[in-house]
Structure 1
Amino acid sequence: MDSYESVLLVKPEVYVFNIPPRYSNRGYRAADWNLTEPQWTGRMRLVAKGNEVAIKLEDKNTGELFAKCPIETYPGVAIESVTDSSRYFVLRIQDDTGRAAYIGIGFGDRSDSFDLNVALQDHFKWVKKEKQISEEPSAPSLDLGFKEGETIKINMKITKKDGSEGNSKTKGKVGGTSGLGLLPPPPSGKLPAPPGSSPAGSPSHVPKPDSTVAGDSWGEFTSAQSSASVPQQSSTNANWVQF
């Protein structure tokens, strides 16, 4: 996919000047230009496409391109500051055939030239950082998947209804037995009393044999006991053996 063109900076007014040839390496001076009569006035746009950046001078009304200055490095030969002012620069413009020429540009406000400096510096810092990242060896990817035969152990705490915590693991034996437990005690916590017995703490009542019957002293005791009504067992103690 082709990179799209992004706009880094727009200045609505910039002045273009014809500049005399430079006969020495001392640099360009804006005082040598005819600053009162610019050759062209229009809009400046600083645009980037991928790592490439360029200054475009366009008509402020129609947007028609007047000149284009591709910039490979900054500072560099494509754009140079003059030696006697911070508001003026020398651009090396190029056409589609590759022919190049040098022109002078200037801004009415020093803040406009400062913004151009900062935008160019930020762009080339970004290009340098991207190059460093691309040259760094990529870190090996981590394989976090389970290998064949690998397992995972999880300990879970389970909260019971009474609020206590227990482990999810279960034991094969309970209380040292083979899994068979004793029946719980009856609800009262005591064994049921046999029928006919007196409550705890009171003397038991045993019927005395009638002294008038000499030959069968146990007969009346038997009849008296058999005639006594046996209380019916409650359904809750149906499983208990009567003593």
Structure 2
Amino acid sequence: MSGVNLLDTEDIIESILFICRDVKVYKIPTRPSLAGWKAAEWGEQAFMWSGRLRIVESGGLAVLKLEDPNTGEPFANCPYPPPGSSVEPVLDSSRYFVLRIVDEQGRKASVGMGFDERGDAFDFNVALQDHLKRLTAPPSSSSSSSSSSSSKPTEPKRDFSLKEGQTFSISIPGGGKVKEKKKVEGGAGAGAGGGGGMFMLPPPPSGKRRE
């Protein structure tokens, strides 16, 4: 498999999601059971290739690239479309996985891949999960709501102030309506001596005169 370029993405802008400079690739038998594979059956030192792994994202598609760490020469590529069934964990270890690689003719093969450190395997899993979250995340509605609110026509301000000569009514509970008229300066109804238009109340009835 050495030197086989299974997916050419040289002319596409790429984002690097994950890099590990030391992974090992194993030749594995046909799937032993419906449950899956066990890395213990591969032989930890029986790997057929070791080198660098990069997860590259471009146009919504992630690709696992197995490369020579010094020259960048490709060994194999594993496309990772949703729901991500091309990468499968093994049953007996968190450091080993099965990759389903595909060549340009559509031919598929399964290989084992292992990390020396559990921390690298954990980061590998996180990078794949983050990629899937971005693919399934709903589009943001903030831009559409802001545009709709900005396009809504604004109503003109209305003037509720009384003009000269206009009247208004006030309803008093248990009584009728009191009609008031806007005071015109210098007009009728002003108090004696310019008392600001206050009403003069009649004097209270007088009592009996003291003799």
For residue 137 of structure 1, report the CA deviation from its aligned partner. 11
Counterpart of 1:94 (choices 72, 93, 102) is 102
Measure the CA separation in 2 of the matches of 1:78 and 1:99: 13
* Unmatched 5+ stretches in structure 2: 1-10, 160-184, 187-211
For residue 4 of structure 1, report the CA deviation from its aligned partner. 2.1
For residue 50 of structure 1, report the CA deviation from its aligned partner. 2.4
* Unmatched 5+ stretches in structure 1: 154-174, 177-243
Alignment-derived partner of residue 133 in structure 1: 139
For residue 126 of structure 1, report the CA deviation from its aligned partner. 1.5
Q: Is residue 105 of structure 1 aligned with residue 113 of structure 2?
A: yes
Alignment-derived partner of residue 197 in structure 1: none
Computed over aligned residues only, the root mean square deviation of the Cα atoms, in angstroms, reads 2.8
Looking at both structures, which has the greater relative contact order when contacts are Cα pairs under 8 Å and sequence separation is at least 6? 2
Alignment-derived partner of residue 166 in structure 1: none
Counterpart of 2:31 (choices 22, 25, 30) is 22
Structure 1 SS opposite 2:57: strand
Counterpart of 2:90 (choices 82, 86, 91) is 82
Measure the CA separation in 2 of the matches of 1:145 and 1:57: 57
Q: Is residue 9 of structure 1 aligned with residue 21 of structure 2?
A: no
Q: Is residue 36 of structure 1 aligned with residue 45 of structure 2?
A: yes
**Length-normalised TM-score, structure 1:** 0.55
Measure the CA separation in 1 of the matches of 2:106 and 2:142: 35
Structure 2 SS opposite 1:133: coil
Structure 2 SS opposite 1:119: helix
**Length-normalised TM-score, structure 2:** 0.63
Letter in 2 for 1:99: R
Alignment-derived partner of residue 125 in structure 2: 117
List aligned pairs for 1:162-201, cutoff 5 A.
none
Measure the CA separation in 1 of the matches of 2:106 and 2:49: 22
For residue 122 of structure 1, report the CA deviation from its aligned partner. 1.0
Structure 1 SS opposite 2:85: coil
Q: Is residue 45 of structure 1 aligned with residue 51 of structure 2?
A: no
Letter in 1 for 2:95: R
For residue 37 of structure 1, report the CA deviation from its aligned partner. 2.1
Distance 1:138 1:70, change over 3 A: same
Alignment-derived partner of residue 210 in structure 1: none
